[in-house]
Amino acid sequence: MRINYILPSWVKAGGFRIIIEYANRLQSKGYDVKLYYPKNGYDFYKGQFKPIYKVKRRLRIILKKEKKYEYDIFNNQVEVLAVKKINDKNIRDADFTIATAWPTAYDVVKLNFKKGKKIYFIQDYEIFNSNIKLVDLSYKLPINKITICNFLRDFLYNKFSMESEVILNGINYNIFDYKYPQKKDDNLKILFVYYPMDRKNMPLTLEIINRIKNKYHNVEINSFGFNKDKDLPDFVNFYLDPDESTIVKLYNQADIFLFTSKFEGFGLPPAEAMACKTAVVTSNVGAIPDYAEHMKTAYIVNNLDPNEFIKGIELLINNKNLRESIAENAYYSIRKILDWDISISKFEDYLKKLLCQKNSQ
């Protein structure tokens, strides 16, 4: 069976990790999988007056300063094709062609029937750095839809009256595991991902860690991300764009992982931390209700009050037994919930169901 994935670009990001995991695992089961992306990317502000953005984008295209293709990003094992445009000429015939971001959905829905059944794989409400009107309209396109958690399914149904199939992500436990058991240092360690996007709520994270550091001087604060900002306090040990093994080591060595996001399509970092046997303090967003339980496998905050996050962090700082119990429970429970074998099996069942629907897109 042939499956085409249409990506918006080729970059190192969490959503791409999920797509590549699907592609690799499907190919290992005998499917013929290819990944496509447009060489010059997409104009995410299409139809809007954004002169600075559009000039910069045009210059990148002219000067060919787009990021170079790295075949082994996230250990990709599937052929990747950079094409001039996503259209019938450049995309092979297949049984299924899958859009993976809102601009790709518009191109996929235009492809002819020879490209197979069409699926829109939705990982988030992608209004960031985009023409929101086009984002919203993409969810109303006549195309089969998959969402990655119950919250996202319900959110898109309530907002757009859109039905979708929910298939939870898996975690690659060959990568995210308790490999570096070095949590017995004198200094307790708190870890967070630094991502200066509004929905990630970094001002709240920084307020929390400043207050914790002022009260608990021996607590070590670590962070990693793609960009280092001047807002980061000097006491934060920051790892700029670390490799995978470094990220896993940071998860492993952390005693507490902090996550204060306002909105998530899923929320992978808390799940990855749990898989590495780290106690998580998190906002109740995305798939958190699907894979975590308050006071059993995580400390879940139902609002964005900094005092509530600090309450949870202090509880774990001062109660070692509870901290270790939550981390231990999380380590085992996450493996039963976010299992790639389950995800792939559900995905295969969904494909078979679509093939039986004569009038499906």
pTM of the predicted structure, to 2 decimals: 0.90
Residue 357: both structure tokens together:
């629907």
For the chain, which domains are there? 2-170+340-355 (3.40.50.2000), 189-337 (3.40.50.2000)
What pLDDT is stored for residue 301 in this prediction?
98
- Asked whether the beta carbons of 71 and 79 are under 8 A apart, the reply is no
Torsion-angle region of 283 (φ positive above 0: left; ψ -120 to 50: alpha; else: beta): beta
What pLDDT is stored for residue 74 in this prediction?
82
**Sheet with 279-283, side-by-side order of all strands:** 236-240, 220-225, 189-193, 256-259, 279-283, 299-301
What pLDDT is stored for residue 183 in this prediction?
63
Smallest CA-to-CA distance from 171 within 30, 60, 284, 266 is with 266
- Work out the burial of residue 211: count CB atoms within 10 Å of its CB; fewer than 13 is exposed, 13-18 middle, 19 or more buried: middle
- Asked whether the beta carbons of 53 and 45 are under 8 A apart, the reply is yes
Smallest CA-to-CA distance from 163 within 149, 150, 153 is with 153
Alpha-carbon distance of 341 to 348, in angstroms, equals 11
Blockwise average pLDDT, block size 10, the chain, 361 residues: 96 89 97 96 78 57 52 84 97 98 98 97 93 96 98 97 97 93 76 95 97 97 92 95 94 97 97 98 98 98 97 97 98 98 98 81 52
Residue 186: both structure tokens together:
């004198």
What pLDDT is stored for residue 305 in this prediction?
97
What pLDDT is stored for residue 185 in this prediction?
62
- Asked whether the beta carbons of 4 and 26 are under 8 A apart, the reply is no
What pLDDT is stored for residue 228 in this prediction?
87
What pLDDT is stored for residue 55 in this prediction?
57
Q: Cα–Cα distances in Å, from 5 out to 19, 48, 185, 207?
A: 8, 27, 45, 40
Count the neighbouring beta carbons within 10 Å of the beta carbon of residue 248: 20
Angle of CA points 189, 194, 200, to nearest 5°: 115
H helix runs in the chain, sequence order: 14-28, 51-63, 102-110, 132-138, 150-160, 202-215, 244-253, 268-275, 288-291, 306-318, 320-337, 340-355
C-alpha torsion 16→19→21→25, nearest 10:
-160
